[in-house]
Amino acid sequence: MEDLPEALVAEILKKITRTSDLNSLSLVSKQLYKMEGNQRGALRVGSRLCTATKALKSLCARFPNLWKVEIDYSGWIPRHGKQLNNKSLFVFSSNCSSLTDLTLSFCSYIDDSGLRCLAYCKTLVSLRLKSAPEITSIGLFSVAVGCTSLSALHLIDCEKIHSVEWLEYLGRDGSLEELVVTKCKGIKHHDLLKFGSGWMKLQKFEFQGNGGIYGLCQGDVVYDSSYDAHSKNIYDFWCESLTDLRLARIKTWPEVGLRAVLGKCKALEKLRLQYVHALNDNDLIALSRSCSNLKSISLWLNLQRYSSDVRYCETRTSFTDNSLYALALNCRMLQTVDLRFTGCASDWPSEIGFTLKGFLVLIQSCPIRVLVLNTANFFDDEGMKALSSSPYLETLELMMCEAVTDVGMRFIAHTPCLSNLTLRLCHEVTDVGVAELGHAHKLETLVIDCCSKISLQAAQDVTKLVHYSRDILDAFMTVGLKDC
């Protein structure tokens, strides 16, 4: 190896991506040790990171061109040694001159003093803080002022961040393109509107509050289903660059707050609304009229109380078929649809505001490639029959869709492009229905989780790539309900 030209060795090293392989290769010779160290651009260290000043300097000397660093203390216990602290962070940041991407997770010993050290990282482009219990708005403001190249900021479970002067500064003078705020209980969704003109530059935005997912309790407010938050120009800002939007577990009543964003996005391609209280059809209608480029929509809905008549109160999910009709009419590029319903009865009719008729209008109007339905009790074998003629559908996932039977499997087996099928807790589908899939010889992957009437042998006869489980926890954990 030492006789090879250095440029050729460098090209060989670029082809090796596994960290364990790079570590082994660096032990072969001094030349490879030095070259591998110079080429290593990304580094992830866990809870056993030694925080002695000398060790940190050696680490930076070993990898002088690091641009991406992740420090993760999840699972840390005292016997692992000392965590990275303020002084250590200063040593680290001042010796990594090329640092552009930094993630600090579960770093309990870093506070505002340590965060101020990052203000000297003029090349820092992306900062992610996860479970940073001692960091406040003061430290964030230092980063906002000092890191003039910052374009991505993630704040996850940072409980001491309250005031939003840092947000106002970034909106006025910064260049943020990506902002994620999740479970920071001191930041309310209407606070984010203080971002001002910064919304014009933002391309990705996520906000998740601390609310629950199971709807309203007895005695809580009744929402007005006819209220239109978009009929008045309450907030003077636009989100013309926003392509990716996620709002989760927030209550948009009585304040309009982030609800206003839905009518101000012209370039939006991906939308996720997950357990957002008080929305109604007017919100999705306003969004559909301005978002002709929408390609993906995820609606996770729970039970809420709606009424436009004080004498009558209706308990249902947020949207009705009117929303589906608006999406079908205006969003003709829609390719991914994810509909999940929580707290609704398993049989039809129930409190779900959608019907099969409205759903099929959407499916037949858009080139849907990926479809996920969770507890969609309006969907049955007739829906499967309609899906079977979908020319673009490639991936279908059904969870707790109890009205789907073997008859539906017979229909869906003939879908022209279907190659990936997932069935979770679909107890009315049996081996007979699964055999229909095998006769069609179209599926590439099949996932069966906790479907009581489907055997492993029947699933294996369909295709070579099969995941099969009878564990109910597998069904729930895989779809991400543990994160809700």
Q: pLDDT, tens digit, for every residue of 43-71? A: 888 776 766 677 778 888 888 888 999 99
Sequence-separated (6 or more) residues with CB below 8 Å from residue 395 = 369, 370, 371, 418, 419, 420, 421
Peptide linkage before 5 cis (omega within 30 of 0): no
Residue where the block lists tokens 């002088």 = 64
Per-residue model confidence (pLDDT) at position 52:
63
Per-residue model confidence (pLDDT) at position 6:
66
Per-residue model confidence (pLDDT) at position 218:
46
310 pLDDT above the threshold of 70? no
Residue of higher predicted confidence among 384 and 56:
384
Sequence-separated (6 or more) residues with CB below 8 Å from residue 227 = 280, 282
Which top CATH class is 380-484? alpha beta
In whole angstroms, what is the distance from residue 183 CA to residue 188 CA?
Answer: 10
Mean pLDDT across the chain = 88
Per-residue model confidence (pLDDT) at position 33:
64
In whole angstroms, what is the distance from residue 109 CA to residue 133 CA?
Answer: 9
23 pLDDT above the threshold of 80? no
CA 323 from centroid of its chain's CA atoms? 23
In whole angstroms, what is the distance from residue 75 CA to residue 459 CA?
Answer: 38
Res. 31 pLDDT band, cuts 50 70 90? low
In whole angstroms, what is the distance from residue 233 CA to residue 254 CA?
Answer: 16
Q: What percentage of the chain reaches a pLDDT higher than 90?
A: 61
- Highest mean pLDDT: which of 5-9, 74-78, 204-208? 204-208
480 pLDDT above the threshold of 60? no
Strand-pair category, 204-208 with 244-248? parallel
482 pLDDT above the threshold of 50? no
In whole angstroms, what is the distance from residue 364 CA to residue 7 CA?
Answer: 55
**Polymer length in residues for the chain:** 484
Strand partners, 314: 306
Measured at the CA of 420, the angle between CA 341 and CA 345, to 5 degrees, comes to: 20
> Mean pLDDT over residues 435-445, rounded?
92
Give the chain's radius of gyration (CA, Å). Answer: 26
Q: How many CB atoms lie within 10 A of CB 391?
A: 9
Both structure tokens of 4: 């090879």
Span 41-187: which CATH code? 3.80.10.10
In whole angstroms, what is the distance from residue 164 CA to residue 149 CA?
Answer: 20
- Highest mean pLDDT: which of 164-173, 250-259, 355-364? 355-364
In whole angstroms, what is the distance from residue 123 CA to residue 96 CA?
Answer: 10
Residue of higher predicted confidence among 293 and 12:
293
Strand partners, 206: 180, 246
pLDDT in tens, 314-330: 889 999 999 999 999 99
Residue of higher predicted confidence among 28 and 383:
383
- Of 39-48, 79-88, 129-138, 341-350, minimum mean pLDDT range: 39-48
Per-residue model confidence (pLDDT) at position 91:
86
Res. 481 pLDDT band, cuts 50 70 90? very low
SS3 per residue for the chain = CCCCCHHHHHHHHHCCCCHHHHHHHCCCCHHHHHHHHHHCCEEEECCCCCCCHHHHHHHHHHCCCCCEEEEECCCCCHHHCCCCCHHHHHHHHHHCCCCCEEEEECCCCCCHHHHHHHHHCCCCCEEEEECCCCCCHHHHHHHHHHCCCCCEEEEECCCCCCCCHHHHHHHHHCCCCEEEEECCCCCCHHHHHHHHHHHHCCCEEEEECCCCCCCCCCCCCCECCCCCCCCCCCCCCCCCCCCEEEEECCECCCCCHHHHHHHCCCCCCEEEEECCECCCHHHHHHHHHHCCCCCEEEEEEECEEEEEECCEEEEECCCCHHHHHHHHHHCCCCCEEEEEEECCCCCCCCCCCCCHHHHHHHHHHCCCCEEEEECCCCCCHHHHHHHCCCCCCCEEEEECCCCCCHHHHHHHCCCCCCCEEEEECCCCCCHHHHHHHHHHCCCCEEEEECCCCCCHHHHHCCCCEEEEECCHHHHHHHCCHHHC
In whole angstroms, what is the distance from residue 444 CA to residue 422 CA?
Answer: 11
Burial class of residue 2 (count of CB atoms within 10 Å of its CB; 0-12, 13-18, 19+): exposed
pLDDT in tens, 219-271: 578 898 989 989 877 778 889 999 999 999 998 887 788 999 999 999 999 99
Residue where the block lists tokens 């008080």 = 278
Per-residue model confidence (pLDDT) at position 479:
55
Identify residue 363 by its one-letter amino acid code: I
CA 8 from centroid of its chain's CA atoms? 40
Q: How many CB atoms lie within 10 A of CB 441?
A: 9
197 pLDDT above the threshold of 50? yes
Per-residue model confidence (pLDDT) at position 104:
95
